Amino acid sequence: MKIVRYVLAPLLGIIVFMVGVSGFEAIGHAIYPPPVEIAELSRAYGDAMFSGDSERLAEVEREMTPVLTAWIAEAPLGPLLAVVLSWIGGGLIGALTAAAIAPTGKFWFAILIGAFDVLGIVMVTSQFSHPVWMPLVGISGTLIVTVGVGLLLGRVSSTRDDAPRPT
């Protein structure tokens, strides 16, 4: 059973991380709706991804990059901060999931999810221009919460492991 948990911990942690980022971004979009053109391009991107149409996906990416770059340059702080909080929140719940499932090495499973989150932040922010503070705060926040989860759940787990077992 332990081996199953070692396999499930990173898989479910990454899935929860990705769903979490999307969910938190949806909340951010509800509070700060994106401009109509960006919303339409986002839908077209999702449709192309879902249908597996790689040509349309590349076309939408080419259309979306200058639109997003221009919007981000003039966007108010609120929607940008909502995106950064989505990155950090997704990392937090993904790390919690992975560390909670892992039978041992909880710290390292939490850090693994943090590494995926950091990689995602780097990939997204390299696709088009973002204010410098966004990846800095996103990466720093992600590392703080995932290391914190790893330390906390690792400590809780080791405390339980040290407890005397009933005979």
Q: In this predicted model, what pLDDT tens digit does every residue of 18-41 receive, in sequence order?
A: 999 999 999 999 999 999 999 899
Q: What's the confidence (pLDDT) of residue 12?
A: 98
Q: What's the confidence (pLDDT) of residue 6?
A: 95
Q: Are 135 and 125 in contact (CB under 8 A)?
A: yes
For the chain, how are helix, strand and coil distributed in percent, rounded to 5? 85, 0, 15
In this structure, what token pair is assigned to residue 15? 């899935």
Averaged pLDDT, 99-119: 96
Round the average pLDDT of the chain to a whole number and report it.
Answer: 91
In this structure, what token pair is assigned to residue 65? 């990059």
In this structure, what token pair is assigned to residue 68? 């997003």
pTM comes to 0.86
Q: What's the confidence (pLDDT) of residue 129?
A: 84
3-state secondary structure 69-123: HHHHHHCCHHHHHHHHHHHHHHHHHHHHHHHHHCCCCHHHHHHHHHHHHHHHHHH
Averaged pLDDT, 1-23: 95
